[in-house]
A and B are shown apart, each in its own frame.
Chain A
Amino acid sequence: MDVHPRALDYTESEFSGPIPNESELTAGVRIVPGRSYGFFTDTTVCIGCKACEVACKEWNNLPADNVGLTGQSYDNTGQLSANTWRHVAFIEKHSDGAGPGVRSTEKPPFQSGWLMMSDVCKHCHNAPCLEACPTGALFKTEFDTVVVQQDICNGCGYCVPACPFGVVDLSTLDGKAHKCTLCYDRLKGGLEPACAKACPTDSIQFGELDDLHLRARQRVQQLHAQGVETAYLYGVPGGPGATGDLGHLNAFFLLTDRPETYNLSEAPTRPANRVAASLLTGLAAVAGLALAAVAAFSRRA
């Protein structure tokens, strides 16, 4: 097992303060402002423990919402919301094409009957929420992540329908929009995000985007070689999820079924590309009607 040489400097059980550049030890990456960081979520090793949900709630001091049981397998958070920034989805696949309610008699060597995926804000490259925000509260940080500045947001809620993944949400309690910050405060302190640190199987991997893409590609090739032909990447440039001029998703996923199974859209689009066409068409219509008005008023009775 690889242990970072610096780890041997910190062998005590209790610390009086945070370890400098702790992410080097826990994620193998040094956090430097100006580089692009994100998540690679490998759903094939997710065990559905929800440590990511708990770590996120604990670190960000988020209250539990959606109190009660949903009846959706082990998913009791239901969806991302103003107070839920990590949501683990559970999909039980009972049949393999034989029809609903019919148990399949053959299963591939890779356990594919139960899909688990930890959903999060995708921190899009051309983030629609950021482009929609009229106050400038949403901005791109020095780590290439998207964050809502709570002291500027005035709760207009325009970012909410703009998001093509239904992530950002308006809280009716405190009147502002909230979403995953990729633990901006932890990144500034040299710590990796809480969910990535808590994940026991390294399903959630934090790192520099180029490095994550490399690892993800290698993992997909490995899975194909092992017989999991349905493995693919969601959110990488040119792939599903990064369509429609969104660029790429800083938080991207390795999935083994259609995106809609995990509540993701296959071909989301960048809403800002619709602004010019809409404005010009509308103005043309109004101009045409104004000309008609000129004609109507100029007619001698």
Chain B
Amino acid sequence: MNSMEGVVTIVQESRFQLTDDAGAGHLFVLAHRSLAEPDQLEALQRRQTRVRVDYTEPRNIIGLLAHAVDIAA
């Protein structure tokens, strides 16, 4: 499981874009077993909170699968 920190910039349903410190945007899909709910993502995007995402790389899409989203210190 890898980890990435950044700010949530786009949210659509259960997909979000995380912009990391280098300014690159990464597309994440919330895994169905993750504890985070799509409604919470919207709040994170509005407040531009810095978060840490634990993710894996699925084989069949160009994107990342987020398993956990935590607020980064």
A interface residue numbers (CB < 8 A to B): 59-65, 67, 83, 150-151, 155, 171, 173-176, 178, 185
Contacts and interface: CB of A to CB of B under 8 A. Distances in A.
Interface in B5-31: 10-17, 27, 29-31
A173 B61 contact: yes
Interface of B: 10-17, 27, 29-33, 37-39, 58, 60-63, 65
Contacts of A150: 13-14, 38
Given A61-B16, A61-B17, A150-B13, A175 B62 contact: no
B14 A176 contact: yes
Nearest to B33: A175
Residue among A63, A83, A150, A151 with most chain B CB within 10 A: A63
A184 to B, nearest CB: 11
Q: Is the interface of A mostly helix, strand, loop or mixed?
A: loop
A83 B14 CA distance: 12
Contact of B58 (A60, A151, A173, A176): A173
B61 A65 contact: yes
A83 B61 contact: yes
Contacts of B13: 60, 150, 178
A60 B61 CA distance: 15
A64 B62 contact: yes
Given A65-B60, A83-B61, A150-B38, A60 B29 contact: no
Nearest to A65: B61
Nearest to A181: B13
B61 to A, nearest CB: 4
Contacts of A155: 32
11 contacts: A62-B12, A63-B15, A63-B61, A63-B63, A64-B61, A67-B62, A151-B37, A173-B29, A174-B14, A174-B32, A178-B13
A65 B62 CA distance: 7
A64 B15 CA distance: 13
A174 B62 contact: no
Given A67-B62, A173-B65, A174-B32, A61 B27 contact: yes
